[in-house]
A and B are shown apart, each in its own frame.
Chain A
Amino acid sequence: MPGQLPGGETTNRMAPRTLFEKIWDAHLVREIPGQPSIIYIDRHLIHEGTSPQAFAGLKAAGRKVRRPELTFAVMDHSVSTKNRLLPVLDADAAGQFEALARNCEEHGVHLFDMHSKNQGIVHIIGPELGITQPGQTIVCGDSHTSTHGAFGALAFGIGTSEIEHVLATQCLSQFKSKTLEIRFVGKKPRGVTSKDMILAVIGKMGIAGGNGRVAEYTGEAVRGLSMEARMTMCNMTIEGGARAGMVAPDETTFAYLEGRPFVPRGKEFQEAVSYWKSLVTDPDAKYDSTVTLDTDKLAPMVTWGTNPGMVTQVTDRVPDPHSFKDPVDRKAAESALVYMDLKPGMRIEDIALDRVFIGSCTNSRIEDLRLAAKVVAGKHVSKDLKQALVVPGSRRVKAEAEAEGLDKVFVQAGFEWRDAGCSMCIGMNDDVLQSGERCASTSNRNFEGRQGKGGRTHLVSPLMAAAAAIEGHFVDIRKWKNLDGAE
C-alpha cells in the first residue's frame, strides 16, 4: 500500500529501494505517465562559465529566480591563480565575472566572488561550507557535480537551459535513471588512492559504461574512505558515463558535516542525522546492474591515451593498438598514441614529463595536499620539469595548508603555490600547457587539448603526481618508503 512519509513523499513501503530511489521519491513533485517526472532541486550551484545565458534567458522571458536562497554562485573557472588584486586582463573573463556579479545582485543570489575567503572550485566549496548535505538533490552547470554524491546526495551536471529551468522553477523535468552498483571487494591496498580506484572502474567499464545510470559505490574499501577520498571517486563518475555517483552517508559523513557553516545546528542537526541514517540502499533492493572490482588487484593508475578509460597500472606498458579486438577501439588507440606521442610497449615509468599539476575539483583538497607534501618534503622537483604547480581547491584549503606549513614544503621543493580555482584542469585562465608538452595531472580529463591545445595529459593521483615531479617521470609510489600512514 502506498503511504505518506513525514517528508511528504509517497511510497510503497513494502518495496525495498536503493539509495537513489529513496532520494528520487522524496523529490517527486509530479509523476506524469509517459512524461519525464518533475523533481524538486534542493541546492543549485552556479559559476561564471555556464550561467550568463541562463540569466539572459530568464530575463528575456520575464521570469524571476524562484528560490534565490537555494542557489549559490562562485567564480572559479576563469579566475587567475596568481595575484588576484591585479586587474583582470582577459576582457572576456572580466565580462563573465561582471555578468555573474550583476545577475547575483539583481536576483538576490549569494555569490562567493574571487575575493571571498570562501572562494574556490564550486565542487570544493559546496561540501566544505556544508551547502552539500545527504539526501539532497544538487545540480550545477558542470559535469563534475557528481562530486557531491559522496554525501549520499543525488547530484548531477546540467546544461545552461536546465540552469535557467532551475532558476525559474526550482525543479527539473527528468527521466528516471537506471541504477548501477560499483562494488569493491576487499580492503584498499597501500599506495592506492580513491583516484586509482575510480580510474580502475573507468578502465574496466569504459567511458560510456555508465550512460543512463546513477552509480552507487559500495564495499568495505569505500566505507573506509574519508569524505574527501569519496568526493574524488564520485567526482570522476561522469568520466565513466554515469551522470551521478553516490556513497551512502555514514558516521564519517556526519562527522565531516557537523559544525560547517551551512549545516543545521543543535536539535536540527540531530533531526537531520536521523533522517540521513535512513539514506541507505535496503538489503533486498536490486540495482539494474553491478560492476565488481577486487581491491587486491588494484594498483596506482596512469592514463596513456586521450580519454580517462585509456588507463593502465603504473607497472604496465603502453598498450599496442593491435591488442584491441574491436576495430573501433584499435583505431581510437592508434589515434590516441599519435596524439600522445607514445610508442606501444613503452614502460609507463619511462614516460618523461614537462609539467606537473596538482589541483582541480578531483584532487585539490587538504588531504590531497598533505599526501603530496609528504612525498615531496625535503626533496626537489626534477630539473627536467618546466613547471610544477599546486593549486588549492579553495581559499579555505589554501589557508589550512598554509597554517600547516604545506605551502613552504611545496615551495622549498620547487613547486609554485597558487590561489584557488579550476586552473590547469581546464585552462580557461593562463595556466595552460603549450603544444607538445606532457603533464602529470591530478585532474579528471585527458581529452585532446583539454589543458591547452596540443598538450598531453596523464591523469594520476596526488601521490603519483608528486613522486613524478621529483623524478621527472612516472614512478611506482608503492616503492617509496616514507609513505607510512600517509594515506
Chain B
Amino acid sequence: MQPFTKHTGLVAPLDRVNVDTDQMVPKQFLKFLTREGYGRVLFYDWRYLHGEKPNPDFVLNHLRYKGASILLARANFGCGSSREHAPWAILDYGFRAILAPSYADIFYNNCFKNGILPVTLSNEHMDELFKRTEQNAGYRLTVDLENQVVSDEKGLSYPFTLDPFRRECLLKGLDDIGLTLVHEEHISSFEQKNLRHPKMYETVDVKFHKQPAR
C-alpha cells in the first residue's frame, strides 16, 4: 500500500450529503477482475451524459477542478454498499485525501486499506473550506498526516484527530495481513482451544464438500 505522509493539492468540492458508493461506482462496473482503472467511471451517472459525454453541470467536470487530488465532501460520505471499487475509483481518479464531517463505516475502513486518508472535520470547518474553495480558483490545501493538520497558504490551519494505529499504518503503508500474521501463534492456539466449541464445529455436511486440491 502506498504510504500517506503529507499531501498538497488542488481541492474539489462535492457539496452533497449521504453520497453512496452506488454513485461512486455504479453496478455495471463491478464486473472487472482488477483493482485498477476505475477512475474513469468514478461518479459515472453524475459525470457523464448519454454516450459518455461529460455532463457540464457536474462539479468535477468544471475546468477549475481538473487535476484535483483533495475532495471535500459532506456527512455520511460513502454510505451503502461495501464495494471497495469505490475507494479504488477515488484513488485511481487522483484523490489522495477526503475531507468530510463523517463517513459510513465500511467505506471509511476501506479507505485505509488503499492509502487514502479520510479526514474528519467539523461542519463549521467544512463550511469554511467549501467557501474558500468556491471563492478562490486554484484553491489548494495541504493535508499533513504526521502533524494531523489541514492547512492552506493563507494561514488556515485545522487540526484533526485520527486513531493512532490507523495513522501509523497509513504513514508507513503497512500491510494489514502481514500485521495480523505476526500473531500466528495466537491464531493457532485459539483454533486449538476452540476446536470442540459449538460455534466452531466443522461444517458437517460432508456430501457438500469438495476436498481441497492439494
- A and B co-occur in one complex: yes
Query: Given A159-B113, A261-B208, do A38 and B79 touch, yes or no (CB 8 Å)?
Result: no
| Chain B residue at smallest Cβ distance from A61 | B177
- Whether B138 is near chain A, meaning CB under 8 Å from some CB there, is no
Instruction: Give the residues in chain A near B176, CB-CB below 8 Å.
Output: 161, 165, 173
Which one, B6-14, B51-59, B178-186, is touching chain A? B178-186
Q: Is B3 at the interface (CB under 8 A from chain A)?
A: no
B210 touches A40 (CB 8 A): no
Contact A272 B198 (CB under 8 A): yes
| A352–chain B nearest beta-carbon distance, Å | 24
> What's the Cα separation between A453 and B46 when bound, in Å?
10
The A-contacting residues of B in range 190-214, CB under 8 angstroms, are 190-191, 193-194, 197-205, 208-214
Asked whether any CB of chain A lies closer than 8 Å to the CB of B90, the reply is: no
Check B82–A158 contact: CB distance below 8 A.
yes
Interface residue ranges, A against B (CB under 8 Å):
6-8, 26, 29-30, 34-36, 38, 40, 42, 49-50, 52-53, 56, 61, 63, 68-70, 77-78, 90, 92-93, 95-96, 99, 105-108, 110-111, 118, 129, 131, 133-136, 141-143, 157-162, 164-165, 168-171, 173, 175, 207-208, 211-212, 238, 241, 243, 261-265, 268, 271-272, 275-276, 307, 328, 331-332, 335, 426-428, 445, 447-450, 453
Chain A residue at smallest Cβ distance from B15: A331
B136 CB–A CB distance under 8 Å:
no
Of the listed stretches B19-27, B62-70, B139-147, name the one at the interface; the rest are far from the partner chain. B19-27
Contact residues, B81-98 vs A (CB, 8 A): 81-84, 87
**Chain B interface main SS type:** loop
Please state if A175 and B74 are interface contacts (CB–CB under 8 Å): no
Distance of B3 from chain A, by nearest CB (Å): 16
Known: A29-B183, A168-B177, A264-B198. A328 touches B17 (CB 8 A): yes
B76 at the interface (CB under 8 A from A): yes
How long is the Cα–Cα vector from A241 to B106 in the complex, in angstroms?
9
Q: Say whether B80 contacts A265, CB under 8 Å.
A: no
Contact between B203 and A70, CB atoms less than 8 A apart: yes
A40 to B186, CA, bound (A): 10
Min Cβ gap A222→B in Å is 23
Interface residues of B (CB under 8 A from A): 16-18, 20, 22-23, 26-28, 30-35, 45, 74-76, 79-84, 87, 102-106, 109-110, 113-114, 163-165, 175-177, 179-181, 183, 186-187, 190-191, 193-194, 197-205, 208-214
Closest-CB distance, B27 to chain A (whole angstroms)? 5
Tell whether, in the assembled complex, residue A142 and residue B82 are in contact, meaning their CB atoms are under 8 Å apart.
yes
Task: Assess the A141–B82 pair: CB atoms within 8 A.
Answer: yes
Cβ-defined contact, B199 with A449, below 8 A = no
Residue in A133, A211, A332, A453 whose beta carbon sits within 8 Å of that of B26 in the complex: A453
For this complex, 13 residue pairs linking A to B, each with C-beta atoms less than 8 Å apart, are: A49-B31, A158-B106, A159-B87, A159-B109, A159-B110, A171-B183, A171-B187, A173-B179, A241-B79, A307-B20, A332-B16, A427-B27, A450-B27
- In the bound complex, CA of A331 to CA of B16 (Å): 9
* Neighbouring A residues of B20 by C-beta, 8 Å: 307, 445, 447
Which of A53, A63, A208 is the one whose CB lies under 8 Å from B104? Answer: A208
Are A90 and B31 in contact, CB atoms less than 8 angstroms apart? yes
By the criterion CB–CB under 8 Å, are B198 and A135 in contact?
A: yes
User: CA–CA, A161 to B177, complex, Å?
Assistant: 9
CB A279 to nearest CB in B, in angstroms, measures 9
Contact A272 B201 (CB under 8 A): yes
Per the bound structure, the CA–CA distance linking A86 and B212 in Å amounts to: 29
B31, A96: Cβ atoms under 8 Å?
yes
The residue from A208, A262, A276, A331 contacting B76, defined by CB atoms under 8 A apart = A208
Given A69-B209, A160-B84, A170-B187; A262-B31 close (CB under 8 Å): no
Contact check, A50 vs B31: say whether CB atoms are below 8 A apart: no
Q: In the complex, which residues of chain A have a beta carbon less than 8 angstroms from the beta carbon of B209?
A: 69, 110
Contact between B75 and A328, CB atoms less than 8 A apart? yes
- Are A261's CB and B205's CB within 8 A? yes
Task: Find out whether the CB atom of A275 lies under 8 angstroms from the CB atom of B198.
Answer: yes
User: Is the beta-carbon distance between A143 and B197 smaller than 8 angstroms?
Assistant: no
Most central of B34, B75, B180, B187 by chain A CB within 10 Å: B180
Q: A53-B33, A328-B75 are in contact. Are A262 and B205 (CB under 8 A)?
A: yes
Contact of B80 among A40, A134, A136, A143 (CB under 8 A): A143
